[in-house]
Amino acid sequence: MINKIFCLLAFALFNIIIAQAQQTLVLSNVLQSNMVVQQNKPFKVWGTASPNSLVTVVADWSQKVSTTADSNGDFVALINVPAVKIGDFKPHTIEVKSGQDEVRLDGVLIGEVWICSGQSNMQFKLMEDKNSATELQAANYPNIRLFYADLNFSATPIQSIKGRWEACSPETVKKFSAVGYYFGKSIYSNLNIPVGIIFSGIGASKVEAFLPQETLQNNPTLDSVYLQPYLNSPKSKEKVNSGFSFEKVTRPFLLYNALINPLINLSIKGFCWYQGEGNRMERASYTLATQMLIKSWREKFAQGELPFYYVQVAPFFYDKEDPTLADYAFFRESQEKVLEINNTGMVVSMDVGEAKDLHPKNKRPLGIRLAKIALNRTYGLDTTVYQGPQYEYFEIRGKFTVIHFKQGTVLNGLITNDSLAPGFFTIAGADQKFYNATAKIVGNTILLISDKVKKPIAVRYAFTNYAVTNLQNRSGLPAVPFRTDRWPEPKL
């Protein structure tokens, strides 16, 4: 009797395995149970089925939608998604059918979806963050969903991506992006709706790795600086696999093909980006490359001018203990110029950097600052202050040089985060030699003086490699580094 039961069970299991093997209906791997679907936008359901077969999609919030797979079996169906109400965390289902095949997604939430990408400071795990002891313990947020894309490379654009949608918990979030988590948590706590965060990036990567090949090819500067040196090298002839190497993450377009292209059908709200260390010796080419990255991603995702918010690199000494060196400051200036592209925003990290650590441990302020930009600019919460003091002009008043900031960035006044005088102001005369200046806060201005510069003609603030700053507005947002001169960068 036992043998008969065992045989029946084995036969049933065999039939299930055979049926699964024969099933031709497969959804994109980013479409899973427990995912978050972007609210108030059409949502694409895509995958493969039998060639020329009918595919139907039913979400529990909408009517049935039908489409036909093409001759290769590829299909895309479009379903409408309503705006979610505050406090609505109802789990939903999506059923996809083709012939005898069926795929069902359960526990789907409707809310906001953001993609976080970049290199190691975006990849930096929450478990490594200085606040991890308290943050992890409290990180039970079942209505925040996380998707961590597995690393991959491809010489051509691909559709597949590996990863798993999971509810945020102390266990699931500990290896997730700290910046991404803090960003998502802040969006969630302020809007009180579901939030989905996708991390798709890798440490040590360069900006050109995230650009489509045709974007690089169609721009003469990007083609000559990034693409042709790679295509003309032996590396471009190697077979590309998923294995990591510090060199491979710098190659043009491979990461775009494998980590971004598989997501372009997904409805999202916007992007968060933290990258730059790998390109730190570049200037105009980096600005252009990042601007073209933004334009190309927006074009590929075909959802209009999606918000693109990014973090400026933190101070770091690069093993050169010379407080006058400014090559990294010139790179940060190149990052700031990315703001010329519409619907972008930049987070300053000068106050939470660590001069001798390329991976500062305090990521909470950065995630929150990204969220502040989004809450104000994307979600229309005008009372959310998201800008730190920004330089407007200076004037000479007797023996003082007076720094004025844009009014909207110092509405609540200037302070320092350590109650000391503001640091890292320098002034120069006609000889173009910069000297440290004593700084004092007076109202919404800074008064500078130096007995070594009798006739100042230029001012710089935090314009060196590893200045960890203390000047901020009363909303806790740091002043943006600046220089008033346009003197050429010295050659090292």
| pLDDT-based confidence at residue 304 (cuts at 50, 70, 90) | very high
Q: Which are the contacts of 434, defined by CB distance < 8 A and separation ≥ 6?
A: 324, 426, 427, 428, 458, 460
- As a whole number, mean pLDDT of residues 330-344 equals 98
Q: Is residue 125 part of a domain?
A: no
* Residue 172 domain flag: yes
Whether 13 shows a pLDDT value over 50: the answer reads no
Residues 348 and 423 in one domain: no
Crossing angle of the two packed helices 364-373 and 178-191, in degrees rounded to 10: 50
- pLDDT, residue 23, reads 80
What pLDDT, on a 0 to 100 scale, did the predictor assign at position 22? 60
Give, as one character, the DSSP assignment of residue 131.
Answer: T
Do 360 and 431 fall within a single domain? no
Residue ending a domain, choose from 318, 343, 378:
378
Residue 83 located in a structural domain: no
Pick from 115, 114, 108, 113: which is nearest to 62 by CA? 108
446 and 327 together in one domain: no
Q: What are 148's two structure tokens?
A: 């961590």
Do 369 and 453 share a domain, yes or no?
A: no
> Do 182 and 274 share a domain, yes or no?
yes
- If one counts every other C-beta atom within 10 angstroms of the C-beta of residue 305, the result is 13
Q: Residue 10: pLDDT band by 50, 70, 90 thresholds? A: very low
Residues 445 and 344 in one domain: no
- The answer, yes or no, to whether residue 138 has pLDDT greater than 80, is yes
* Structural domain containing residue 250: 132-378
Handedness of CA 81, 87, 88, 91 (dihedral sign): positive
Does the predicted TM-score (pTM) go above 0.75?
yes
Question: Which tens digit of pLDDT belongs to each residue from 359-384?
Answer: 999 999 999 999 999 999 999 999 99
Q: Is residue 42 part of a domain?
A: no
The answer to whether residues 400 and 330 belong to one domain is no
Note whether 185 and 257 are same-domain residues. yes
- Tens of pLDDT, residues 259-272: 999 999 999 999 99
Residues paired with residue 447 on neighbouring β-strands, in sequence order: 402, 440
Residue that terminates a domain, selected from 321, 347, 378: 378
In a domain, 336, yes or no: yes
pLDDT band of residue 4 (cuts 50, 70, 90) is low
Do 183 and 282 sit in the same domain of this protein?
yes
Are 413 and 287 part of one and the same domain?
no
Distances, alpha carbon 364 to alpha carbons 124, 128, 180, 183, 466, in Å: 12, 12, 10, 8, 20
pLDDT at 171 over 70: yes
Domain count, the chain: 2
Q: Which residue's structure tokens are 């999971």? A: 166
Amino acid in position 429: G
Phi (first) and psi of residue 125, to 5 degrees: -75, 150
E strands present in 69-179: 74-79, 92-98, 101-118, 141-148, 165-168
Same domain, 168 and 239: yes
Residue 6 has pLDDT above 90, yes or no: no
Separation between Cα atoms, residue 211 and residue 237, nearest integer Å? 19
Chosen domain end from 319, 348, 378: 378
pLDDT for residue 281 is more than 50 = yes
> Do residues 234 and 361 both lie within one domain?
yes
Could you tell me the CATH number of the domain that includes residue 136?
A: 3.40.50.1110
- Across the chain, mean pLDDT equals 95
In whole angstroms, give the CA distance from residue 186 to residue 143: 13
Tell me which residue of 404, 373, 371 sits closest to 389, measured CA to CA: 404
